[in-house]
Structure 1
C-alpha cells in the first residue's frame, strides 16, 4: 500500500489492443501503481467495452515501472478521509473496487494477470481473481492489512480461506509476503514464468491463445518456504482465538514460530481478532460475492475505529513504525468489539450477493479512449 499524487484516469490506466489481446497497464510507477477510484472506474469501463468486442479474445493486466504490478489501494486517501472526513469517499471507492473484483472473477474472457514484482492488497484484488495468474522469481505477494489496523479485503479473505490447511490464516494475520512457489501452493497463482520472458509472453498473446503462449514460456516454479512450515502453522492456527495462536507459536520451540508470534503481537490487536473472525465466517459464506459483502461491512467499520488512522500514520506517513493501538492488547479486545465490525449496514450494504445490485455505485459519464 502506498500513496502519492494521482494523475487522471486516462494516464493512470493505459489501454491498448495488440492483435487478439487487450491490455490494461496500471501507470502510477512512482506510487507503485497504487489504485485510486478513477483507476477502478476506468478498468471497469475497459472491461465492459472489451467484453462486447469480438475482436478481443484476451485481457492482460500489467504494471508500469520496474517494481511491481500494484502495491494496493491508495491508503493515504483512505487515511485522510477517515481522519478528516466522514468516510463517504472511502466507502464509495471500496464499493466500486469490490464490484470490480467480483467482475474480474466472473469475466467471460481469459484475464491474464502478470503478477511480477510487488503485488499487495488491492493489487491482489485486480490480479488473483483472474483466470490466468502468472508469477515470476521477482513476485512478492501479500495482504499486509493487519499491520496498518485494517483487515484483508478485495476478496482476500475468500482467497486465503481456500489455501491449504491454515496457510491462509497465517498469511492474513501476519501480513507476510510470499514468493512464486508459495503463491502457487496457496492458490494465489497458476503459472510460473521467468521475468526475462514476460515481454515475449505478453507479445505472443497478440497472436496465440493463452494456452499456447503459456506452453512456450511457463517453467517449473522454485520451491517455496511454507511447505516446510506446514506442521507448526497448521497446529498453531487451528486455535479459536488469536491469544491461543500466539501461545501455541511460542510453545513450538521453533525460532521461526517465535518470530511469527512477535510479528502478530506487533500488529493491531483489533485487526487481528476481526481478521480471524472474518476468515472463520468465510468458510460458511461460500461465494466470493457473499464474502465481498462481508468485507465491505468490515472495511466501513474500520473507518470509525482508531487503528486504521494510527496504523497508516505509523507505517506509511510518519514511518516511525511505532503504532499506538487502541485497545493496546489482545486481551482488551472483546467479542462485542469484534462483532461490531460485522453489523449490517442496512440500505448501505454492498449487495453483491444479490445480482440485481451487482454494479458500480455511480458509473459516471467518462468515456473510453486508448
Structure 2
C-alpha cells in the first residue's frame, strides 16, 4: 500500500492498493461533507492515476458508518453567503461541478460506494461514476428545495432521466430513496451487501482492467425487492404531469392516494422560488448534456445563493433547527416568472468551460 505523493490529507485519504486507486472521504463526524480542499484533493488523485499504468480501477467511499457524503459543507456555504463573500461559493461550485463532469468522463472505471447517507454533493460524486454501488443502508436524496437552493452537481441531468415523473417528484419534495428506488431511478447500478464491501476492495485491488471491475461487482451483487416508488409510479406520473408547480400541487391534493397528499404537504413547505426554479431546470435538463446541465446549474447556484431564501433555509434547517423558514416570497403565486428566468442568466463571469462558449 502506498500513498499518491502529496495527495494524502486528513479529510481525504488517498492510497494505492495493488491495481486499485482508493479515495476515502474522511470527515465522518460531518457525514463526510465536502469542502473545497476535499474536492481539490480528489481531483489531484484523478490527475495522478489517469496516466499511471499500474492503476486499473478507482474506488471512492466514505469513512465511518453513517454516510458516503451528505453533500457540500453547507455551514461553510451559509457563512459565505451570510457575510456577502459570494466568491467563496462561486469557487466551490466551479471546482465541484468540474469534478462531477470529470468523474463522468474519466477514462478508467470508477466504483463509488454510496453506503449510508448520500445527498446533494454526494450524489454528484457517486452517481456520475461508471460503476455506482448502493448497499442495504443507502439513503439517497436531492433535498435542495428544503433550504432555498435547487438541485445541482448534475442532479438535474440525472433526475430528468428517471422513469416517468419520478425525478420531478424527488426534486420538488426532496424525498429520500432506498437502494431499490435508487436503482429504479437510475442513480445506481448495483446493490451489494455492506458486509461484502471488504471483499470488493480486495477483488478490485487485483483487477487487470476495467472489465474485471464490472465482473467483480456482478459477482457480489444481490437482488433487492421493489422500493416504495415502484408502487407509487401511477399517481406520481399522473399528478406531476402539470405544467406549473401550482398545477402539480392541485393534482396531488385532489388525489385519492394518501401518499400523494403527503407529497403535496411536503412540497408546500419548501421554498416557493426554489420550487419554480427547480421545475424550470428539470424541464430544460431533459434536452441537455451533462456538461450543459452543470453549466446551467452553475448559473442557478451562483444566483440563488445570493437570495435571502438560501441563508434563511440553512438557518432554519441546520443552524437554529427550528424548521420554520420564512420564505420570501412566501407564496407560489407571488413568485414572478421573470425572476425565475433570471436565475438562468449569466451573472458570474466565465462559466465552467465544459461546453463551447461557456
Q: Would you say 1:147 and 2:146 are equivalent positions?
A: yes
Give me the TM-score of the superposition, normalised by structure 2. Answer: 0.95
* Cα-Cα RMSD: 1.3
**Shift of residue 345, structure 1, vs aligned partner:** 2.8
Indicate the residue corresponding to 1:247 in structure 2: 250
Q: Cα distance 1:97–1:268, how it changes in 2: closer, same or farther (>3 A)?
A: same
Contact 1:180 1:222 (C-alpha < 8 Å) held by counterparts: no
Q: Would you say 1:258 and 2:257 are equivalent positions?
A: no
**Shift of residue 235, structure 1, vs aligned partner:** 0.9
Indicate the residue corresponding to 2:107 in structure 1: 108
Q: Alignment partner of 1:15: what SS?
A: strand
Whole-Å separation in 2 of the counterparts to 1:244 and 1:19: 55
Indicate the residue corresponding to 1:227 in structure 2: 230
Q: Alignment partner of 1:348: what SS?
A: coil
**Shift of residue 328, structure 1, vs aligned partner:** 0.3
**Shift of residue 352, structure 1, vs aligned partner:** 1.4
Whole-Å separation in 1 of the counterparts to 2:244 and 2:335: 11
Indicate the residue corresponding to 1:14 in structure 2: 13
Whole-Å separation in 1 of the counterparts to 2:188 and 2:198: 19
Indicate the residue corresponding to 1:319 in structure 2: 321
Contact 1:9 1:38 (C-alpha < 8 Å) held by counterparts: no
**Shift of residue 348, structure 1, vs aligned partner:** 2.8
Counterparts of residues 70-219 of structure 1 (less than 5 Å): 70-208=69-207, 209-219=212-222
Q: Alignment partner of 2:99: what SS?
A: helix
Deviations 1:231-283 (A, max 9, x none): 11011111110011000001111111000000000000010000000000112
Contact 2:302 2:348 (C-alpha < 8 Å) held by counterparts: no
Whole-Å separation in 2 of the counterparts to 1:353 and 1:157: 17
State which of 290, 293, 299 in structure 2 corresponds to 1:291: 293
**Shift of residue 213, structure 1, vs aligned partner:** 1.4
Deviations 1:132-168 (A, max 9, x none): 0011110000001000000000000000001000000
Counterparts of residues 312-351 of structure 1 (less than 5 Å): 312-345=314-347, 347-351=349-353
**Shift of residue 202, structure 1, vs aligned partner:** 1.6
Q: Would you say 1:303 and 2:302 are equivalent positions?
A: no
Task: Give the gaps of 5 or more residues in structure 1.
Answer: 1-7, 358-370
Instruction: Name segments (4+ residues, structure 1) moved above 4 Å.
Output: none
**Shift of residue 346, structure 1, vs aligned partner:** 6.4
Q: Alignment partner of 1:151: what SS?
A: coil
How many residue pairs match? The answer is 348
Whole-Å separation in 1 of the counterparts to 2:53 and 2:70: 32
Contact 1:160 1:172 (C-alpha < 8 Å) held by counterparts: yes
Contact 1:133 1:190 (C-alpha < 8 Å) held by counterparts: yes
**Shift of residue 9, structure 1, vs aligned partner:** 7.3
**Shift of residue 203, structure 1, vs aligned partner:** 1.7
Whole-Å separation in 2 of the counterparts to 1:346 and 1:198: 42
Deviations 1:215-239 (A, max 9, x none): 3311112211111111110111111
Whole-Å separation in 2 of the counterparts to 1:352 and 1:239: 32
Contact 1:9 1:39 (C-alpha < 8 Å) held by counterparts: no
Whole-Å separation in 2 of the counterparts to 1:347 and 1:28: 32
Whole-Å separation in 2 of the counterparts to 1:347 and 1:328: 30
**Shift of residue 200, structure 1, vs aligned partner:** 1.1
Which shifted more, 263-272 or 191-200? 191-200
Contact 2:8 2:14 (C-alpha < 8 Å) held by counterparts: no
Contact 2:131 2:214 (C-alpha < 8 Å) held by counterparts: no
Indicate the residue corresponding to 1:352 in structure 2: 354
Q: Alignment partner of 1:52: what SS?
A: coil
Indicate the residue corresponding to 1:361 in structure 2: none
Indicate the residue corresponding to 2:4 in structure 1: none
Q: Alignment partner of 1:342: what SS?
A: coil
Contact 2:127 2:188 (C-alpha < 8 Å) held by counterparts: yes
Contact 2:303 2:347 (C-alpha < 8 Å) held by counterparts: no
Task: Give the gaps of 5 or more residues in structure 2.
Answer: 1-6
